Amino acid sequence: MTGNPSPEAPRSAQDPSLKDAADAVRSRINTAQPHTARIWNYWLGGKDNYAVDREAGDRIRELHPGIGDYARADRLFLGRAVRHLVTDRGVRQFLDIGTGLPTADNTHEVAQRIAPESRIVYVDNDPLVLTHARALLTSSPEGRTDYLDADMRDVESVLKHAARTLDFSQPVALMLLGVVIFIDDDKEAYGLVRRLVDALPAGSHLVLSHTITSPSMPDVDAAVAFWNEHGTPKLTQRTPDRVARFFDGLDLLEPGVVSCSRWRPEGADGDPGALPDEVAMYAGVARKS
């Protein structure tokens, strides 16, 4: 990979502009309504949540007792996918859209533990994530990290900003974990993923996870219905076949689009054996030829 493709340097964890931006958006955080990023943080054992989030999280867990399992399964999938791409595929650049709140083993931590020179750009439009973004910018000295407060629908802006840190003449792993669930319209969702993938060079990869709906998991549908009535933002479930469509035209890696807990579970961190074989979060990794 060549040097930084733009003279405009990426931000560091100490960048005052990032702190100023975070301070400016604190007023956008609604602590009276449960929020998906904070509830996810609660299920993963984090502390960046409020009583309203914990109450909603507990209610959802009553409706779907396995919800914490698929939160953990999705997080473990992230780690396994990143390790595979860095170790076996030689990927050194990651565009992580829909980052969510920082927690243990964020994308840059997993990648730079193996290849310290790795570069990562995080993107999220959640003001709470922005207030914690400096935790995502603790890069190794050899690598780079950056954060963009933006909506994934603004593809041109995301790509333009990412080019400050990433070299788009070299392979990039596009990370879309649990984020296209917030786009209800299928045409828009598939089109958006396609536009992002089309901007990447050959040898790049798409890593995507998505909440599913299945006749065998009616409690998941009940939990999602409760969430969409009381929380924000609303989310959309898709069947496993509809999730697989996001990978159309790409070379899908084995074992295909499967439950997060079944995507190459060997060598997983934590205790993968404690997770059920089937969770309501499906995922896959595919290569662009």
What digits encode the pLDDT tens for the residues 10-40?
A: 555 446 665 665 555 555 566 777 777 787 7
Task: Write the DSSP assignment of 249-281 as a string of letters.
Answer: TSEEPTT-SEEGGGSS-TT-SS-GGGS-S--SE
Average pLDDT over residues 103-117: 93
Least confident of 107-121, 193-207, 208-222: 208-222
- CB-CB contact of 39 with 60 (8 Å): yes
The phi and psi torsions of 216 (rounded to 5 degrees) equal -80, -5
Residue 2: pLDDT band (50, 70, 90) is very low
Residue count of the chain: 289
What letters, b where the CB count within 10 A reaches 16 and e where it falls short, cover 203-214? Answer: ebbbbbbbbbbe
- CB-CB contact of 87 with 121 (8 Å): no
Least confident of 122-131, 203-212, 220-229, 271-280: 271-280
Domain ranges of the chain: 18-32+66-287
Give the count of beta carbons closer than 10 Å to the beta carbon of residue 37: 23
* Model pTM above 0.85: no
Does the pLDDT at position 175 exceed 90?
yes
Give the count of beta carbons closer than 10 Å to the beta carbon of residue 288: 18
pLDDT of residue 212: 94
pLDDT of residue 237: 94
Residue 72: pLDDT band (50, 70, 90) is confident
Does the pLDDT at position 275 exceed 80?
no
Please state, in angstroms and rounded to a whole number, the distance separating the CA atoms of residues 192 and 29: 27
In words, the CATH class of domain 18-32+66-287 is alpha beta
pLDDT of residue 192: 97
Task: Write the DSSP assignment of the chain as a string of letters.
Answer: --S-SSSSPPP-TT-HHHHHHHHHHGGG--TTS-BHHHHHHHHTT-S---HHHHHHHHHHHHH-TTHHHHHHHHHHHHHHHHHHHHHHS---EEEEES--S--SS-HHHHHHHH-TT-EEEEEE--HHHHHTGGGG----TTSEEEEEE--TT-HHHHHHHHTTT--TTS--EEEEES-GGG---HHHHHHHHHHHHHTSPTT-EEEEEEEB--TT-HHHHHHHHHHHHHSBS----B-HHHHHGGGTTSEEPTT-SEEGGGSS-TT-SS-GGGS-S--SEEEEEEE--
Cα angle: 165, vertex 168, 169; to 5 degrees: 130
Ramachandran sector of residue 15 (left: φ over 0; alpha: ψ -120 to 50; beta: rest): beta
Lookup: tokens for 218: 């009616």
Taking only the tens place, the pLDDT of each residue in 248-272 is 999 999 999 999 999 998 644 444 4
